[in-house]
């Protein structure tokens, strides 16, 4: 790969000092940030490499989302205005159960296109029960950085046909982890993904946790404490609160990523902290399913890792990190006051805190020398943005005013996946045409 010199208008580094640079260039060598240099020190006309001149754009680290369901993208707009159990029982479980390899591929591609065009460069996906190899194949060919794993289910009272035996779950998971953990030059890693207590036996949860030991750098990803009826059912089944139950069977550790964590008591919050558990906060999904509002300002004050995720397209209905940032900020203000969840704090949740949640903060999440060049360029010189940007309101511009429409360029490991506001990895017309065909066939199968 040729060396590249990116010349943006502004660099929002998200380094430990939240440095913002003007009149600087970023050099990329072998997919990594080699140097960040003042333009006055650089003899650009003699630069031996490719010059990427983006002098009107703001350079930011790619967004990192820590809870996504690519397999559900096809169902966007087909499961609206329901609470979690109805949403799963009447819609999502029958749909996911009806996936073929082709419909799954169509769903994953639509999701990847949506993530790339919204500036997300790394994410943690929950997968689906069957055909998980399709998700890995698509992750590898798209070039995105991701953790993913099949969504394990060995019981299902809401929709009994959508599960497989404990042994099938354990064996297929091990095989997929062996084939795909640390693949695509380390960009794709395994995230073990037992769905939630209601779809997983204790044996499945415990043996999955055991299995993670064979795959260093992998994650353990599940839903927890999302919905009041869910928490009540867990209490009836186990005699414990959801997080308390997870703690009692030994699945909480620094590589556990719990999506939602809305309905927790004080003891559970302490348990998350004690075990260095990561919370994936999904504010849009939590609002749309009417699940509740997680006490994120309190978790952050306690020093618990919090990052953001769009969840699945049918409970959001967007996969844009901009929407998650906006909602993460706004939903707390009527409760905690307008200074809570300020724009800088929220922007960090969508970047460096996401990297920390996944234990890859030495590689991505900020623009610093030695890190991988997972970078996004935003056009913020627009009539619907602040008319003069400074070091404070650049964050508010991104969190409160911007959307995926402002994303112009996206690169991963220094390779362009979006340029000129156009995704280079997929033909959108083709995705829509094929997606429609697969969706129609899938709905007939349900
Ligand atoms: N809990 C179990 N499965 C799911 C899912 O697919 N989405 C959400 N939001 N919660 C879940
Ligand atoms: Fe989810």
Report the nearest atom of ligand 1 relative to the CA of 96. 6
Q: Does 251 score more than 90 pLDDT? A: yes
Task: Please write the tens of the pLDDT for every residue from 304-325.
Answer: 999 999 999 999 999 999 999 9
Element (H, E) at 105: helix 101-117
Phi, psi of 396 (to 5 degrees): -70, -35
Q: What pLDDT sits at residue 413? A: 98
In this structure, which ligand is nearest to the CA of 199?
1
Between the CA of 284 and the centroid of ligand 1 the distance, in Å, is 13
Write down the pTM of the prediction.
0.99
Mean pLDDT over 38-49 rounds to: 95
CA of 67 to the centre of ligand 2 (A): 6
Which atom of ligand 1 is closest in space to residue 312's alpha carbon?
A: 7
Residues with CB under 6 A from ligand 1: 69, 84, 88, 92, 195-196, 223, 226, 285, 311-312, 315
Query: What is the DSSP code string of 302-360?
Result: TT-EEEE--EEGGGTS---HHHHHHHHHHTTHHHH-TTTT-HHHHHHHTTHHHHHHTT-
The number of distinct structural domains making up the chain is 1
Tens of pLDDT, residue by residue over 172-183, are 999 999 999 999
Q: Ligand 1 pocket check: which of 66, 88, 107, 152 to mutate, most ligand atoms within 8 Å of Cβ?
A: 88
Under a CB-based contact definition with an 8 Å cutoff, are residues 376 and 414 in contact? no
Residue 392 pLDDT exceeds 90: no
**Dihedral (CA of 193, 195, 200, 205) sign:** positive
Atom of ligand 1 nearest to the CA of 223: 1
Report whether 438 contacts 103 (CB < 8 A). yes
Predicted confidence band of residue 140 (pLDDT cuts 50, 70, 90): very high
Q: Which two tokens stand for residue 429?
A: 């017309």
Interval 78-87 mean pLDDT: 98
Return the residue whose CA atom lies nearest to atom 11 of ligand 1: 223
Residue 153 has pLDDT above 90, yes or no: yes
What is the band of 1 on the pLDDT scale with cuts at 50, 70, 90? confident
Distance 128 CA to ligand 2 centre (A): 11
What pLDDT, on the 0 to 100 scale, is given for residue 401? 98
* Mean pLDDT computed over 245-251: 98
The proportion of the chain whose per-residue pLDDT surpasses 90, expressed as a percent, equals 99
C-alpha 169 – ligand 2 centre gap (Å) = 19
Q: Looking at residues 42-60, what average pLDDT do you find?
A: 96
Q: Which atom of ligand 1 is nearest to the CA of 69?
A: 6
**Which numbered atom of ligand 1 lies nearest the CA of 289?**
9
What is the model's pLDDT at position 79?
98
Domain that holds residue 439: 1-446
Predicted confidence at residue 291, as pLDDT, reads 98
**What CATH number did the domain enclosing 64 receive?**
3.20.20.140
pLDDT band, residue 201 (cuts 50/70/90): very high
Q: Using CA positions, which residue lies closest to atom 3 of ligand 1?
A: 195
* Ranges of H-type helices in 192-281: 202-211, 228-238, 242-248, 266-274
Q: Could you report the per-residue pLDDT of 430-443, keeping only the tens digit for each?
A: 999 999 999 999 99
Nearest ligand atom owner, CA of 194 = 1
Which among 75, 84, 224, 228 is the best mutation to test ligand 1's pocket, defined by most ligand atoms within 8 Å of the CB? Answer: 84
H/E stretch holding 411: strand 407-412
Instruction: Quote the tokens at residue 169.
Output: 């779950």
Q: What is the mean pLDDT of the chain?
A: 98
For the stretch 255-288, pLDDT in tens is 999 999 999 999 999 999 999 999 999 999 999 9
Gap from CA of 260 to ligand 2 centroid (Å): 8
Q: Kindly identify the ligand whose nearest atom is closest to the C-alpha of 87.
A: 1
Q: What is the best residue among 80, 83, 289, 311 to mutate for testing ligand 1's pocket, by most ligand atoms within 8 Å of CB?
A: 311
With a CB cutoff of 8 Å and minimum separation 6, the contacts of 288 are: 80, 315, 316, 317
Q: Which atom of ligand 1 is nearest to the CA of 282?
A: 9
Strands 151-152 and 415-419: unpaired
What's the CA-to-centroid distance between 305 and ligand 1, angstroms? Answer: 21
C-alpha of residue 311 to centroid of ligand 1, in Å: 8
The neighbour count for residue 66, using CB atoms within 10 Å, is 33
Q: How many A from CA of 319 to the centre of ligand 2? A: 12
Please give the distance, rounded to the nearest whole angstrom, from the Cα atom of residue 223 to the centre of ligand 1.
7
For the CA of 72, the nearest ligand: 1
For residue 152, pLDDT over 90 is answered with yes
Return the percentage of the chain with pLDDT > 70, whole number: 100
The CA distance from 5 to 375, in Å, is 13
**What's the pLDDT tens digit per position in 4-35?**
999 999 999 999 999 999 999 999 999 999 99
Asked if pLDDT for residue 346 goes beyond 90, the answer is: yes
Q: Which atom of ligand 1 is nearest to the CA of 199?
A: 2
How far, rounded to the nearest angstrom, does the alpha carbon of residue 429 sit from its chain's CA centroid?
Answer: 25
CA of 196, closest atom in ligand 1? 2
């Amino acid at each position: 790969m040729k060396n590249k010199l990116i010349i943006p208008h502004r660099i929002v580094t998200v380094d430990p000092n939240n440095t913002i640079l003007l009149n600087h260039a970023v050099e990329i060598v072998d997919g990594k940030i080699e140097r960040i240099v003042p333009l006055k020190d650089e003899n650009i006309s003699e630069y031996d490499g490719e010059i990427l001149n983006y002098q009107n754009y703001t350079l930011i680290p790619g967004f990192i989302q820590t809870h996504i369901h690519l397999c559900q993208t096809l169902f966007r707009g087909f499961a609206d205005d329901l609470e979690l159990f109805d949403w799963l029982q009447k819609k999502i479980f029958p749909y996911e159960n009806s996936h073929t390899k082709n419909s799954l591929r169509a769903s994953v591609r639509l999701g990847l296109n949506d993530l790339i065009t919204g500036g997300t460069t790394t994410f943690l996906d929950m997968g689906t029960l069957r055909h998980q190899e399709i998700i890995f194949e698509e992750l590898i060919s798209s070039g995105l950085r991701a953790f993913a794993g099949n969504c394990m289910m060995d019981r299902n009272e809401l929709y009994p046909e959508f599960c497989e035996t404990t042994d099938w779950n354990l064996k297929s998971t091990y095989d997929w982890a062996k084939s795909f953990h640390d693949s695509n030059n380390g960009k794709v890693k395994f995230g073990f993904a037992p769905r939630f207590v209601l779809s997983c036996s204790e044996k499945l949860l415990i043996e999955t946790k055991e299995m993670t030991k064979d795959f260093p750098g992998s994650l353990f990803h599940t839903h927890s404490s999302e919905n009041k009826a869910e928490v009540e059912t867990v209490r009836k089944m186990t005699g414990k609160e959801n997080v308390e139950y997870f703690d009692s069977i030994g699945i909480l550790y620094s590589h556990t990523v719990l999506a939602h964590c809305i309905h927790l008591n004080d003891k559970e919050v302490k348990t998350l902290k004690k075990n260095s558990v990561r919370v994936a906060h999904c504010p849009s999904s939590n609002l749309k399913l009417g699940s509740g509002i997680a006490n994120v300002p309190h978790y952050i004050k306690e020093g618990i890792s919090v990052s953001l995720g769009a969840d699945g397209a049918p409970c959001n209905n967007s996969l844009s990190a901009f929407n998650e940032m906006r909602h993460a900020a706004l939903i707390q203000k009527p409760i905690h006051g307008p200074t809570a969840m300020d724009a800088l704090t929220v922007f960090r949740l969508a970047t460096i805190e996401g990297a920390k949640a996944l234990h890859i903060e030495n590689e991505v999440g900020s623009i610093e020398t030695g890190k991988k060049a997972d970078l996004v360029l935003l056009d913020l010189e627009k009539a619907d943005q602040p008319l003069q940007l400074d070091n404070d309101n650049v964050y508010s511009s991104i969190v409160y005013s911007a959307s995926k429409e402002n994303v112009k360029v996206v690169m991963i490991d220094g390779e362009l996946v979006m340029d000129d506001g156009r995704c280079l990895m997929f033909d959108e017309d083709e995705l829509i045409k094929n997606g429609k065909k697969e969706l129609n066939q899938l709905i007939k199968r349900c």
